[in-house]
Structure 1
Amino acid sequence: MKVCEISKRKISVFLSLIMVVCTLCSCRLPFFEDDRTPGEKKYPEFITIDVFDVQSNTRGIQRGWFAKIVRDKFNMQLNIIAPNQEGHGNAIFESMRASGNIGDLIFIGAEDGNLRDLVREGLILDMTDYIKDCDNLLKYEDQIRLTSANADAEGLFAIPSEISSNTEVGEADFSEPTNAPSIRWDLYRELGYPQVNTLEELLPVLSKMQQNAVKSDSGKNVYAFSLFSDWDGDIMQNAGAIASLYGYDILGFVLMDPETGEMESVADENSAYFRALDFFFEANRLGLVDPDSPYQNYDTVASKYRDGAVLYSFWPWMGQSLYNSETRLREGKGFASLKIEDASYVTWGNDPGGKQSFSMMIGKNTKDPQRMVDFANWLFSREGIECSGSPTGDFRGPEGLTWEMTDDGPRFTEFGIKAFIDMEENLEVPEEYGGGLWSQGVSALNFKPVDVQDSDENGVPYRYQLWDDYTSRSKTVIYSDWSRLYGTEKEPIAYFKENDMLTIIPGVEWGGFAYPEYLQTIEDQCRQTIVDHSWKMVFASTRADYDFLKKDMLSTLDKLGFDQVLEYNLKAAKEKQQLFDAAFKGDT
């Protein structure tokens, strides 16, 4: 009996040791169910990675359904560092750069010397040895090599975004121009559709619309314009969006028309930029500008669109994606694009080389470089593309949750209708998909791997707005009314193009330009001067104050040596214009 008891104890101890060892080694006994995720099996160690992202509008740990996909597949979570959300975003970047680590994943421009400098400083990983088995990335190896050439070094360092399968010069936007004046059409209809011949004639129209709107859905004051500063760069971004209604692309401090080749300094007395500032100044005098504008970011403004507190959208996608729910459209409410007779709306063209201005890189000091490259490879997979669009709902979301394939083509699920058509603000995601609110779980990366018009291997568009199911659900009073007023059955972008009101910016392989060191400080000071004065001019209390601030801006720029910076800008702009000219001629 004693021998037997001793043997039982030995067996018990032995089994316990096996279980401990297996637990520590992340293995499973044959008689235990292996409930680990694919990510846990392939990458046993759970990690949190830092993601530096210049276009993210959210900071902190990624949550919700996208976070669950990332964790299940890669056993990691994303910590977003978003300079857009910081008061001193550039200072944060420079501080991280000086420390020798700007994150595990970096989403930033690869042009203007950025990639070259980061590679020289040893901050960016050469992915050459890691993508050999990454079938999705290898499909775009030419584009990756083209973008990586900006490093002036051998290797694969950067992956561009929005790669288009369409090689022809033409508009990449499928329904609306990138920039067009989009307004609350229901309120415009109440006024009897007054014709707007110039930008300035829009103000009295918006003023009457604001009077009729009275209050937002939650009872707040309604304004024609709600501005935000977190997208400001060389200039006040919202003013640049107004200049884009007249065909101007912006490079540094130069406004350029890619079709005509005309160029002007933003600091010219009568520039389109000053016209935009004057427009906002007059709008503010009429009480049309949200007084919170100087202190708010994109996210704050987006919430006001959802509430019906804003009447003008700088980009059609913004107002329509945030306000035009099926419920509102059924009520005859919604945003639609307005025709300003003397305008020419900027729209981006197809870019088969991808957008180098927003590229994905991997930090050289990342703990697990292969896992980072694997993640990049997944982003360019069918699942990655459909799940990683922007917060405005560019792409279709996870199959099974938001949509399903039927004999009649792709169709929304009941959940998809609530998410994309009804745009329910507090839509709860099923626990099996990660739980939480749908809107809070959308990818914070704001990275679109392929062009919005691209389709998967089965010919199904990634963007749900191209589906018949969406068209049949969204053709309501607003769209019928718009078509009737302008006498067309075409989409707005096709209508504006037909009426010679479209300026296409071709997708060209432009590496940008970098300022020499002796100009960098001057450029920084000029940029700050222009942005600071621009905001003050918009909110100046009198015309005399506005004129004084404008004069002071120009005087300060002159003292800083703005002409030297402008000369450098113009040289770069002329080089870029040559690429535009070649693209229009079909020589690229």
Structure 2
Amino acid sequence: MKLSRKAIGAVAALATVGLLSACTGPAANQEREAISEFPDKWDKPITIDVFDGLANYMGMQEGWFGKLVEDKFNMKLNIIAPNVAGGGDTLFNTRVTAGDLGDLIITDKGQRLEELAEGGLLLDSESFYPAMKNVGRFDAAVDRINEDLGATYAFPSQVSSLKPTEPSEGLDPTFGPYLRWDLYKEVGYPEIGTLEDLLPVLKKMQDAEPTAPNGQKTYAVSLFKDWDGNMLNNAKQPTTYYGFDEVGFALAKGDGSEYQGILDDDGQYVRALRFFYEANQLGILDPDSTTQNYDTLWTKYQNGQVLYSFWPWLGQAAYNTDANVNEGRGFMMAPMDDMNIFSYGAEAYGGKQVFAIGSKAEDPERIAAFIDWLFSPEGALANNSQTQGAAGPQGLTWEINADGEPELNELGHKVFFEGDAEVPAEWGGGSYIDGASQLNISAVLPIDTDPNTGFPYSYKLWPTYQAETSNPVTDDWSAKMGATTTMDYLRENDQLLVGPGASYTPEADSSEIETLRNQAKAAIVQTSWQMVFAENDAQFDSLFASLQETATGLGYDKVLEVDMSRAEEQDAARKAVAAEFGG
């Protein structure tokens, strides 16, 4: 059942007389008249339990965000975070068994959302939807999420008014060959034609700075195991430089022009393994790669011990401090001639998580109003402030300047340039960072445009901010590359391949496929690491041939067939959403 905003009034009327009892699920059959406006104020103070699968904080929301929510809704947020409570599904299962997951629920869409709806743990919010004017701007996403549920149980996250063919990232893509630009400059800006041509360049850079300031040896390349799954995760990253992304055991180009199995002869995955193998042969691969975790690697980047990064949000985030960049040291994207970097398009139907109201919520109307506020300009600026790059509330961290543009104020400078600041008492006091929203989810994509200012919610995309962040590293990069930002460079050189944001969610593996996948991927990951550290070409090739044979015997081909089908489904969904929303 697809429930558009136009149909809500009629649907709600039918629901009140019980005519939809057969299709709206156990929690939906509550007689409630549709409303068109929320109250201006809420007289009774309440505290709601927020079961948040993404939160990294457990307890009452404090600080300026807590005060803002309390002032607007007379409501406090008690955050229940499975990530903090030991991880896994224990807390989730306990609360589901008790029949009350939470008043406000932030969870995964797909199978988990369907199970919660079928189990009667979610409230049908159709009667509130006419009043949810901010959410209503993304009616297509709301319809898509709920179309198989028979009622309006959930609301999207990470939605955007951008076309799905536009990148969802800001100044930098998610992936890319980032290297220590200062050392690249020092060795003479050598040309990099292909991924393989990057290796001798990295060797020269390591030779130019063999020791980090802390006295430890530098390595051009360093890996970690934490995120290994269907494959050696780090080996997936260079495949994105050529427009591919993973779908299980398959690699799929963002435009649907090519599909590969990760164990294909001369495929992109084995190419990446060979790249790391060659790096090891050159002495530029960190021997700790097989044992260290992400946190250890992050520290090495901070200390200047690693010279190449798969992602901007590792190398740049860890190393490009004010102190380093002002002295001319920092990570920037390398000019690799043949790259065509994969980018995730803005999700027309939202991201992987959703907002929902629990079936036992004391005041569901107020929670619906709060959810709707998260989609408003004020809500997006405030809620996205912790991890999503939004600027925070106007008047607290930023103002409109004389030219009519948003600009960080004194407090904003302290927060975003120095790391934190004390918030004035009238805003709740305390640390800005500690008081930021602990929900750890954005309703609206931070690069989306704030209709009140005409500029993005993310302060990093404001011209006033970019003018202030000029430094020797970015200035030299811009002069050499002929572009202001990484994304501008990729667009101007036709080196960005956007996979339209279709919010595609594959079906869960059958028990048979799950079993075959688990046994095959264990062999793939183990042998992939052995190939990276092979003694010579002959051993590398022998290990790969053995892996192909072993994986086939463990059911790899059967799983790959499923993943290839899913890759094609994803491409069809991408093409459909691009056709529907333009681009």
Q: TM above 0.5, one fold?
A: yes
Partner of 1:430: 423
Question: Secondary structure at the residue paired with 1:250?
Answer: strand
Select between 99-108 and 445-454 the one with higher mean Cα deviation.
99-108
CA contact (8 A) 1:71 1:77 kept: no
Partner of 2:14: none
Q: For 1:39 and 1:233, how far apart are their aligned partners in 2? A: 49
CA contact (8 A) 2:164 2:501 kept: no
Q: For 1:554 and 1:66, how far apart are their aligned partners in 2? A: 53
- Identify if the C-alpha distance between structure 1 residues 311 and 548 changes in structure 2 by more than 3 Å, giving closer, same or farther: same
1:562 aligns with 2:571: no
Q: For 2:325 and 2:272, how far apart are their aligned partners in 1? A: 31
Q: For 1:107 and 1:284, how far apart are their aligned partners in 2? A: 43
Deviation at 1:154, TM superposition (A): 0.7
Q: For 1:310 and 1:282, how far apart are their aligned partners in 2? A: 17
CA contact (8 A) 1:345 1:502 kept: yes
Question: Secondary structure at the residue paired with 1:135?
Answer: coil
1:362-395: CA deviations, max 9, x gaps? 4556666555434422321223211333755521
Deviation at 1:46, TM superposition (A): 3.7
CA RMSD after TM alignment = 3.8
1:70-126: CA deviations, max 9, x gaps? 56653123233239x97x747887787777666655545424x45334433445443
- Identify if the C-alpha distance between structure 1 residues 201 and 50 changes in structure 2 by more than 3 Å, giving closer, same or farther: same
Equivalent pairs counted in the alignment come to: 537
Question: Secondary structure at the residue paired with 2:563?
Answer: helix
1:450 aligns with 2:444: yes
1:339 aligns with 2:335: yes
Question: Secondary structure at the residue paired with 2:255?
Answer: coil
Deviation at 1:345, TM superposition (A): 0.7
Deviation at 1:138, TM superposition (A): 2.9
CA contact (8 A) 1:52 1:102 kept: no
One-letter identity of the residue aligned with 1:289: D
- Identify if the C-alpha distance between structure 1 residues 134 and 222 changes in structure 2 by more than 3 Å, giving closer, same or farther: farther
- Identify if the C-alpha distance between structure 1 residues 161 and 284 changes in structure 2 by more than 3 Å, giving closer, same or farther: farther
Partner of 2:254: 258
- Superposed, 1:388-427 pairs within 5 Å as 388-389=383-384, 393-408=388-403, 409-420=405-416, 422=417, 424-425=418-419, 427=420
Deviation at 1:467, TM superposition (A): 1.5
Question: Secondary structure at the residue paired with 1:472?
Answer: helix
Partner of 2:474: 479
Partner of 2:233: 237
Deviation at 1:540, TM superposition (A): 6.2
- Superposed, 1:50-449 pairs within 5 Å as 50-53=51-54, 58=56, 60-61=58-59, 65-66=64-65, 69=68, 74-82=75-83, 89=88, 105-111=104-110, 113-149=111-147, 152-167=148-163, 169-213=165-209, 222-259=218-255, 261-284=257-280, 286-289=283-286, 291=288, 294-297=291-294, 301-302=297-298, 304-355=300-351, 357-364=352-359, 369-370=364-365, 372-389=367-384, 393-408=388-403, 409-420=405-416, 422=417, 424-425=418-419, 427-430=420-423, 432=425, 433=427, 438-439=432-433, 442-449=436-443
Q: For 1:462 and 1:289, how far apart are their aligned partners in 2? A: 39
- Where in structure 2 are there 5+ consecutive unaligned residues? 1-38
Partner of 1:18: none
CA contact (8 A) 2:49 2:103 kept: no
Q: For 1:126 and 1:371, how far apart are their aligned partners in 2? A: 14
One-letter identity of the residue aligned with 1:277: L
Question: Secondary structure at the residue paired with 2:447?
Answer: coil
Partner of 1:30: none
Deviation at 1:313, TM superposition (A): 3.0
- Identify if the C-alpha distance between structure 1 residues 322 and 565 changes in structure 2 by more than 3 Å, giving closer, same or farther: same
Select between 437-446 and 262-271 the one with higher mean Cα deviation.
437-446
Match of 1:514 among 487, 508, 514: 508
CA contact (8 A) 1:465 1:471 kept: yes
- Superposed, 1:468-507 pairs within 5 Å as 468-486=463-481, 488-489=482-483, 491-507=485-501
Q: For 1:174 and 1:50, how far apart are their aligned partners in 2? A: 29
Partner of 1:26: none
CA contact (8 A) 1:70 1:77 kept: no
1:344-372: CA deviations, max 9, x gaps? 111222333333x3433445566665554
One-letter identity of the residue aligned with 2:250: V
Deviation at 1:431, TM superposition (A): 6.0
One-letter identity of the residue aligned with 1:452: P
Q: For 1:416 and 1:131, how far apart are their aligned partners in 2? A: 35
Deviation at 1:193, TM superposition (A): 0.9
Question: Secondary structure at the residue paired with 1:81?
Answer: coil
Q: For 1:539 and 1:157, how far apart are their aligned partners in 2? A: 50
Q: For 2:267 and 2:318, how far apart are their aligned partners in 1? A: 32
Q: For 1:195 and 1:414, how far apart are their aligned partners in 2? A: 43
Deviation at 1:569, TM superposition (A): 1.6
- Identify if the C-alpha distance between structure 1 residues 311 and 438 changes in structure 2 by more than 3 Å, giving closer, same or farther: farther
- Identify if the C-alpha distance between structure 1 residues 252 and 363 changes in structure 2 by more than 3 Å, giving closer, same or farther: farther
Deviation at 1:327, TM superposition (A): 3.9
CA contact (8 A) 1:390 1:447 kept: no
Partner of 1:572: 566
Q: For 2:46 and 2:431, how far apart are their aligned partners in 1? A: 28
Q: For 2:304 and 2:428, how far apart are their aligned partners in 1? A: 30
TM-score, with length taken from structure 2: 0.79
Question: Secondary structure at the residue paired with 1:578?
Answer: helix
CA contact (8 A) 2:290 2:529 kept: no
Q: For 1:82 and 1:182, how far apart are their aligned partners in 2? A: 31
Deviation at 1:279, TM superposition (A): 2.6
- Identify if the C-alpha distance between structure 1 residues 283 and 121 changes in structure 2 by more than 3 Å, giving closer, same or farther: farther
TM-score, with length taken from structure 1: 0.78
One-letter identity of the residue aligned with 1:478: V
Higher alpha-carbon Rg: 1
